[in-house]
Amino acid sequence: MTSTTQRQIAAAFKTLMLTMPFKQISVTLIMKQAQLRRQTFYEYFQDKYDLLAWIFNAEAGTDLEESVNYEHWTSSLLDLLNYLETNRAYYRNALAISEQNSFDQYFLAHTKQLTDIIVRDLLKTKNIPLTGEYISFLREYFSRAVVSVIVDWLQDDQPTSPQYLSHQLQTVIEDTISGFLIRVQ
């Protein structure tokens, strides 16, 4: 369950991320913006990287994990893209982090989990027996492709609409799956 204090800290952090680079944001600055004691931060988060991951998970990640499967992945993808579009400036700044524990690493790991659910659900739905090694390859392939396209889209100064990007990703993924199904049947 999310506490009011966590949301207050997250809101302060997001406000700062809209006006300054991640590197310049300290825990002290976050807590000053939140009007809370500095020590309170550590009751909820290990560091600002943990806060960054928590915000994504609290705002988008949990909903995606609960609703994603092969039958409904397309609406989950569109929901994610709409969320990222709404928070574009924040995530552009988050993606500029190139250090250990950067957001793009977290986003990739999260996407791998979702892709694994989708791929396994697809295989079960279509009754396709596959080895764990190939399932891992599919998860890695789709995850990296989707994350790369979404990151480029977020960094684009004149991006396409979330609906258009969702349609493009759906088409590529479904075409890939259709080709795969033809090959194994």
What the block records as the tokens of 141 is 């392939």
Amino acid sitting at position 20 = M
Higher per-residue pLDDT: 58 or 30: 30
111 vs 141: CA distance, rounded Å: 11
Tokens coding 59? 């705002």
pTM of the model: 0.82
Q: What domains sit in the chain, N to C, each tagged with a CATH number? A: 1-45 (1.10.10.60), 47-184 (1.10.357.10)
Q: What is the pLDDT of residues 139-165, one digit of tens each?
A: 899 999 999 999 999 999 999 999 999
Q: Which amino acid is at 73?
A: W
- Could you identify the residue written with the tokens 């890939």? 176
Lowest mean pLDDT among 40-54, 97-111, 136-150: 97-111
Check if the beta carbon of residue 103 is closer than 8 Å to that of residue 56: yes
The rounded distance, in Å, linking the Cα atoms of 6 and 61 is 16
